[in-house]
Structure 1
Amino acid sequence: MDTVTVNDIQLEYEIRGSGEPVLLISPVLPDGFVPLVAEPALSKHYQLIRYHKRGWCGSTHTPGPVGVADHAADALALLDRLGIDRVHVAGHSTGAAVAAQLAQDRPDRVVTVALLELTLLSVPAGEAFFAQVVPAFEAYADGEAERAVGLFLSVAAGMDRERCRTLLDARVPGSVMQSLKDADTLFGIELPALAEWRFGPDEAAAIRQPVLSVRGGNTQPLWVDVAAFLRATVPDVEDCVVDGVGHLLHIERSRPVAEALSRFLARHPITS
């Protein structure tokens, strides 16, 4: 990947394809968009920009706290350095939180927003989900990073640990090992920042751009609740349900996700 200096840090980034720019903001799997950018439905029609947020992979690791708004500022600075004025933004899980924040902060720069299972803990199912991941935090506190990461990814994916590891090794090779290296970011910075992030009805209503809300047909109650929240609060939102997948929807089945995203972007071009 290439590197660029923004906000006194270095960010790793990669650009693939040509056309209208689409900024992809990843969650706790920093290379989770790799299967999606390989799909012709997107790569043949759009300039796809994916990057590693600060604290992940080779991007600069800074002491916490690093909030969702900080990541949004980094994303904007990256666009500035790349000379991109207006852009489509897509994010998955915690990355979708950054996408939503960026859309609020700079509506003049963000044309559309695609939220792939936005993680929002303030919805009714948020408390139950947090209770499920408590053992992962406990394992991390005990110095068992491998067990902690495995537990967290398994709970989020809605799969047993072996199946989750097999899927990620096949579709995003090296991603689990990288998550182990970045465990301090995951448990010490990223998840606490998400818990502090405020995104209520007023913030959701402030997003005036067209929004695509994507969830898996087999996902967990947390993301079903989030999709319902977005339908009730975001002024211009379209729903998309991908059958047969859970929270790792674009990793499990990248083609239907890419096709849905491509159709959405085509309906809302930057040049219109």
Structure 2
Amino acid sequence: MTRTHEITTGIVDVGDARLQYRERGAGAPVLLLHAGAFGDWFAPVFDEPALDGVRLVEVHRAGYGESSTPETHLTFADHARQARTLLREIGIERATWVGHSSSASMALQGAIDAPEAVARLVLLEPAPSPAGPSSEELVRTAVGPAVGAAQSGDIRGAVDTFLIGVAGPDWAAVARQRLGVDAMERIVRDARFFFADEVVAAMEWTIDESVAARVGTPTTLVYGIAGVTKAHEETTRTLAGWLPNAELIALPGVGHSMPLEDPALVARTVADAM
């Protein structure tokens, strides 16, 4: 894709981490907060013309890309706090937060902790909490074996096991197509932090109906019809029923890798939600 917009990049000290980010455009601020396993999930979405009318910020969370690796454990609330601090440091007090998988749950936690900073939520297949009936199978066949492989030092095998389980057998081909021939090297590098720390944070994070009922932030919840597991759809549907100001959208032709599978569709979905 030919870029027609100027991109600003930088690294911001948020207190307990240094976060790499890039931004483009002017208008209502939109934060792209990437999922776990690797940091470039939203890289193709960042370039999509559907988002030309906003001030678009993409961040590498702590542990990913050129951002610093944490010295202590980070909770989902910590990741949300760091993102909020980064936005303030670049002059943004309130933004639409776009999250995907684990970062969708982080964005939701951000709206719980600091509702004044989150104008709207767009949540793409939040991580399975609350867990539906398909989550136990996902943990048994993908998450558990992947964590075991990572603990034994086989990060490449852990990545493959995990992402086949959540995104399907074609995930690596899609990643190379969208992110380049060196995508796997970057993914494996990022995944070390994911399996060492973020998987633990995901297991720690919970939300219930009483907490969700207090979230007044307008929220668009999105799931892909073509997913290989129903675990994320079940969570997305549950949250749509719990959150008082939520809409539910089902996207055709995509699954859990939707920012890579069809970045134009994801970008249009974000733009339409605003």
- Point out 4+ residue stretches in structure 1 off by more than 4 angstroms: none
Q: Which residue matches 2:54?
A: 46
- Match of residue 76, structure 1, among 81, 84, 89: 84
- Match of residue 251, structure 1, among 238, 260, 263: 260
Distance 1:236 1:212 in 2: 9
Distance 2:158 2:273 in 1: 37
Question: How far did 1:16 drift?
Answer: 1.6
Are the counterparts in 2 of residues 15 and 49 from structure 1 also a CA contact under 8 Å? yes
- Match of residue 220, structure 2, among 199, 206, 212: 212
- TM-score, normalised by the number of residues in structure 2: 0.91
Are the counterparts in 2 of residues 208 and 234 from structure 1 also a CA contact under 8 Å? yes
Q: How does 1:92-241 map to 2 (within 5 A)?
A: 92-124=100-132, 125-133=134-142, 134-157=144-167, 159-160=168-169, 163-173=170-180, 174-219=182-227, 220-241=229-250
Identical amino acids, percent of aligned pairs: 30
Distance 1:86 1:136 in 2: 37
Are the counterparts in 2 of residues 93 and 116 from structure 1 also a CA contact under 8 Å? yes
Are the counterparts in 1 of residues 31 and 95 from structure 2 also a CA contact under 8 Å? yes
Question: How far did 1:3 drift?
Answer: 0.6
Question: How far did 1:37 drift?
Answer: 1.4
Distance 1:64 1:126 in 2: 28
SS of corresponding position for 1:77: helix
Structure 1 residues without counterparts, runs of 5 or longer: 266-272
Distance 1:179 1:200 in 2: 32
SS of corresponding position for 2:138: helix
- TM-score, normalised by the number of residues in structure 1: 0.92
Question: How far did 1:122 drift?
Answer: 3.4
Question: How far did 1:184 drift?
Answer: 2.5
Number of residue pairs matched by the alignment: 261
> For each residue in 1:211-248, what CA deviation from the matched residue of structure 2 results, as whole angstroms up to 9, or x when unmatched?
00111111221112112211210001111111011101
Distance 1:175 1:196 in 2: 29
Are the counterparts in 2 of residues 66 and 193 from structure 1 also a CA contact under 8 Å? yes
Distance 2:186 2:207 in 1: 29
> For each residue in 1:103-129, what CA deviation from the matched residue of structure 2 results, as whole angstroms up to 9, or x when unmatched?
111111211000011112432222221
Structure 2 residues without counterparts, runs of 5 or longer: 1-8
Question: How far did 1:79 drift?
Answer: 1.1
Are the counterparts in 2 of residues 121 and 127 from structure 1 also a CA contact under 8 Å? no
What letter matches 2:164 in structure 1? S
Q: Which residue matches 1:26?
A: 34
Are the counterparts in 1 of residues 45 and 259 from structure 2 also a CA contact under 8 Å? yes
RMSD: 1.3
> For each residue in 1:164-201, what CA deviation from the matched residue of structure 2 results, as whole angstroms up to 9, or x when unmatched?
21110111224432221123211110111011012121
Are the counterparts in 1 of residues 130 and 238 from structure 2 also a CA contact under 8 Å? no
Distance 1:203 1:56 in 2: 30
Are the counterparts in 1 of residues 102 and 126 from structure 2 also a CA contact under 8 Å? yes
Distance 2:238 2:257 in 1: 20
Are the counterparts in 1 of residues 30 and 98 from structure 2 also a CA contact under 8 Å? yes
Distance 1:8 1:187 in 2: 20
SS of corresponding position for 1:108: helix
SS of corresponding position for 2:202: helix
